[in-house]
Structure 1
């Protein structure tokens, strides 16, 4: 529509300049009309000018107007058209048979205001009509094509509103396939190797080297974001890119925080960059736990931006059959009667797989399944190699089973006798903890971060100090030997998880945030020039 309006505007300007600056002939401005018609039109000159400038103002609004910084745009358009009118009236005094007419200036000003006001009213009506009849259009952003915990959460959110949303990824992979299988429209915007290699522990040199690729992607996302009501950044890197892009596109941004912003998780530079982007670009920050929210605020994040919404889980109507779990045990080389512990998650030092292996030296009859792989960094891959070496030690040999990455994880949870979460740093949430609880398994978790919020010690699970292999071994032995306690713990855990983390209830909370932000965006269209609050200084 803007393109058509701009063509019409150009034609109107050419016609207007020709009529304003052409000489008269026998008191006739429109020389191609009969004498009596021309005289009648001259008599109606004021109203004709008002109508002509109303059409011009309406066309200018449709060609150049937008519902961002609207007051500034109105003043600029009205002022520019009035100055042009004054200039043309001044020019007419040098044309034979023509003179400056103040009435024409007033007619032009009033007509311009009328035309622009009509265009603005029409556009506002269209926006309000759309907002009443459709859900907010959301562009979700995620940095990776891999399926991690944050991506699984986004998969559920986007699938529930597939008709009104699209997902932009910065890398290709199985995540895109999963989204498309859920009928979610997905685009891959390549970030480039240097920028993709910048991780949470990146320093100044690698960050500077990635700037050209990041700027290019920011512009691409900004162009794409103009077709949506809200931009939703699902990861830290997507916030760094999506925040400035949303600002450029004049769109509100929601940041879903799945990480604890603190030392051990992020470098100092990345912490400052994240907090600055969240404070300056986001209109709401969804934290997946109170621990995540507390770390965000402690790092300098604005408390008024943050709301806590835990991850949600689809509760299956049926679990894995006994025949399938038996076959899975056999394929992994585990005897049917062997007491088996499952630890799920990417192979990374902070996840603490090495702590579990150390603890199992004191639980000689137990087997362990490590479900997951080294997904992201060279450091993770080196750690995975060390785990394989550790698993070959005489006290563990034959009892550690590496299952790798699996898209369908439910059979592994159903096969296990217990589930372990052993992160050595505070976990933002602890998705595998809830998955274990929903599977009706007793769970042992590290007493830190979001995990400590999910589990009530000795009621819905057991909590141990992070990195303490002896305490973890004692908890494993307790579950293995006290079967009555283990069964009670599992039953209570399953009920608590179903009551708290049902996907429908969580999605309803997130949808409420999306609608609130989209609604506030539209309700402030007439006053977007109000300056945003300045972010507080970042914590060092």
Structure 2
């Protein structure tokens, strides 16, 4: 059987975590087609992976429909959404499988799948619960998945459990852990810091887009807490930007650092394409999300880079960190507990080497890109054959 013709659909052309996973997935599908709702960096990256790119005429501006907002916010866009769906229908007719890589892409791709009778794979990169999505959006997503999805790929058991708890059919779910490819830079940490323009002293890194649920404000509050008074030269490095309309939160983070008297100890680096290098230059990596994460790419990158990890005990983090054997878990939204954990990690405890050995081995054995590519390709092949 010839390889199925796959239409990869994504709603944004900004490159965040879900798009990084998509860029790894499509490496195995040169010659496939990417349907993007808007212009942006993802277009060039997709072309660089050997995909043809189709851009919608109607897709811009959908960021006004937040995932935790009422569906009524989408009502003024009804005409454009209809035009966008018609475009996906036209593209889908020339392909064997539709692959939706985001929640907004999935909703419209499900309607296109219903019209074209093409099998639909939804790569769900979210925890479908009330902390992330409004009630109407959850019901819509799960209802469309139960009716029109051939498979729902999720990156972790917690993401699968949340989908089923929201009413999703368990037999639709395929757990495929995200793959992360980390090649360690041969430069010393000191040379990396010099080349990257980072300060001396203890460095604490937070690497994710700026959004309230990502918890950068908790890390800033922890930096100002009493346990870190013994580390007056410790600097918090925040790499990431407000990609999806969270500019007010980004401004509040700067105001918070100033209000707490630590503005000179917080470096905002903005969006960076060299996160793996930055990761290797810090002394400890913090994953401070206040809501459950479906995965945690930066956790695996830090583990593979032999950087100590502190993460909140929610979502997939406990599984990735082997319930604390490969890092330190703290309660979500608890800056005091985070400050204590940071102070301990920066003191380089005696058991740290064993923890880093275990973390690196786990990252490379369980979260490789090749394994993810093979598993996703197998799902696509099965649904194509079933059709």
TM-score, L = length of structure 2: 0.95
Query: In 2, are the aligned partners of 1:448 and 1:466 still within 8 Å (CA)?
Result: yes
Correspondence 1:478 to 2:344: yes
The equivalent residue for 1:127 is: none
Query: In 2, are the aligned partners of 1:438 and 1:497 still within 8 Å (CA)?
Result: yes
Cα separation, 1, equivalents of 2:205 and 2:59: 36
Residue 459 of structure 1: how far off its partner (Å)? 1.7
Residue 484 of structure 1: how far off its partner (Å)? 3.1
The equivalent residue for 2:219 is: 356
Please list the CA deviations of residues 362-411 of structure 1 after superposition, one character each: whole Å capped at 9, or x if unmatched.
Answer: 3132211101001102xx11111011112224541311101110122111
Per residue, is there more helix in 1 or in 2? 1
Alignment counterpart, residue 295 of structure 2, candidates 418, 429, 433: 429
Query: In 2, are the aligned partners of 1:194 and 1:209 still within 8 Å (CA)?
Result: no
- CA 1:288 to 1:458, structure 2 compared with 1: closer, same or farther past 3 Å? closer
Query: In 1, are the aligned partners of 2:209 and 2:240 still within 8 Å (CA)?
Result: yes
Please list the CA deviations of residues 131-154 of structure 1 after superposition, one character each: whole Å capped at 9, or x if unmatched.
Answer: x2x211110000000111110000
Give runs of aligned pairs for residues 54-203 of structure 1, distance below 5 A: 132=1, 134-163=2-31, 165-193=32-60, 195-203=62-70
Residue 280 of structure 1: how far off its partner (Å)? 1.1
- Secondary structure of the 1:231 match is strand
Aligned residues: 381
Cα RMSD for the two superposed structures: 1.5
Please list the CA deviations of residues 50-85 of structure 1 after superposition, one character each: whole Å capped at 9, or x if unmatched.
Answer: xxxxxxxxxxxxxxxxxxxxxxxxxxxxxxxxxxxx
The equivalent residue for 2:120 is: 253
Give runs of aligned pairs for residues 20-419 of structure 1, distance below 5 A: 132=1, 134-163=2-31, 165-193=32-60, 195-316=62-183, 318-319=184-185, 321-322=187-188, 324-328=191-195, 331-332=197-198, 334-335=199-200, 338-362=201-225, 363-364=228-229, 365=231, 366-377=234-245, 380-393=246-259, 395-419=261-285
Correspondence 1:513 to 2:379: yes
- CA 1:246 to 1:458, structure 2 compared with 1: closer, same or farther past 3 Å? closer
Cα separation, 2, equivalents of 1:342 and 1:190: 39
Query: In 2, are the aligned partners of 1:444 and 1:464 still within 8 Å (CA)?
Result: yes
Identify the range of structure 1 (344-353 vs 171-180) with the bigger mean alpha-carbon deviation: 171-180
The structure with more radius of gyration: 1
Cα separation, 2, equivalents of 1:383 and 1:195: 20
TM-score, L = length of structure 1: 0.68
Query: In 2, are the aligned partners of 1:456 and 1:462 still within 8 Å (CA)?
Result: no
Please list the CA deviations of residues 86-114 of structure 1 after superposition, one character each: whole Å capped at 9, or x if unmatched.
Answer: xxxxxxxxxxxxxxxxxxxxxxxxxxxxx
Query: In 2, are the aligned partners of 1:320 and 1:410 still within 8 Å (CA)?
Result: no
Query: In 1, are the aligned partners of 2:22 and 2:101 still within 8 Å (CA)?
Result: yes
Please list the CA deviations of residues 424-477 of structure 1 after superposition, one character each: whole Å capped at 9, or x if unmatched.
Answer: 011111111111111111101110111121112442011111001111111111
Residue 485 of structure 1: how far off its partner (Å)? 2.6
Q: Which runs of 5+ in 2 are unaligned?
A: none
The equivalent residue for 2:309 is: 443
Cα separation, 1, equivalents of 2:146 and 2:341: 42
Per residue, is there more strand in 1 or in 2? 2
- CA 1:190 to 1:442, structure 2 compared with 1: closer, same or farther past 3 Å? farther
Query: In 1, are the aligned partners of 2:182 and 2:276 still within 8 Å (CA)?
Result: no
Q: Report 1 or 2 for greater relative contact order, CA contacts < 8 Å, sequence distance ≥ 6.
A: 2
- CA 1:512 to 1:192, structure 2 compared with 1: closer, same or farther past 3 Å? closer
Residue 157 of structure 1: how far off its partner (Å)? 0.7
Query: In 1, are the aligned partners of 2:182 and 2:305 still within 8 Å (CA)?
Result: no
